[in-house]
Amino acid sequence: MSAHPAHENAAEAHHAHSHGHDAGHGSFRGYMIGFVLSIVLTAIPFWLVMGDVIDSKLFTAVLVMGIGVVQIVVHMVYFLHMNPRSEGGWTLMALIFTLIIVGIAIAGSLWVMHHLNTNMMPMTHEMMKTMP
């Protein structure tokens, strides 16, 4: 490999970067799509809970959290203009890293604390009365 293609690659990478930067601002259409989607995705979970639509509480909870995740992705794409090319892919890399840490922190806390709760010494009625 000679030095010449390396030079070309560098120039190309630079061009790709500035192109990604230009695309990172969003358009009126993009903002409107994001806005309409987020209104729909906000209205559905509120309707599900306030209207008592589904009998199963567990199913409602799963739906609410699922729609929440979809809405977060919508905001990331249409409002925060996340895409695999912005800043040469480093924003996405940082996001993935953060999501892993967040997942460990939240899932791990819930898991550990749940087990602590179930492994607690059972409390009798008399013991409860003497509690501070």
Partner 1 sequence: MSATQVHDTGEKPTFYLTEDHHPENSTMLGFWLYLMSDCLIFAVLFATHGVLGRNYAAGPSPADLFDLSLVAINTAMLLLSSITYGFAMLQMERNAKMETLVWLGITGVFGAAFLALELYEFYHLIHEGAGPTRSAFLSSFFTLVGTHGLHVTFGIIWLVTLMVQVRKHGLTHENRRRLMCLSMFWHFLDVIWIGVFSFVYLLGVLG
- In degrees to the nearest 10, what's the CA dihedral of 110, 116, 118, 119? 160
Q: How far is the CB of 123 from partner 1 (least distance, A)?
A: 14
Write the secondary structure of 52-87 as one string of H (helix), E (strand) and C (coil).
Answer: CCCCCHHHHHHHHHHHHHHHHHHHHHHCCCCCCCHH
Identity of the residue, 58 or 121, whose beta carbon is nearer to partner 1 in the bound complex: 58
In the shown chain, the binding pattern of residues 23 to 52 toward partner 1, with x for contact by CB under 8 A and - for none, equals --xxxx--xx-xx--xx--x--xx-xxx--
Q: How far is the CB of 18 from partner 1 (least distance, A)?
A: 8
| Shortest reach from residue 14's CB to partner 1, in Å | 6
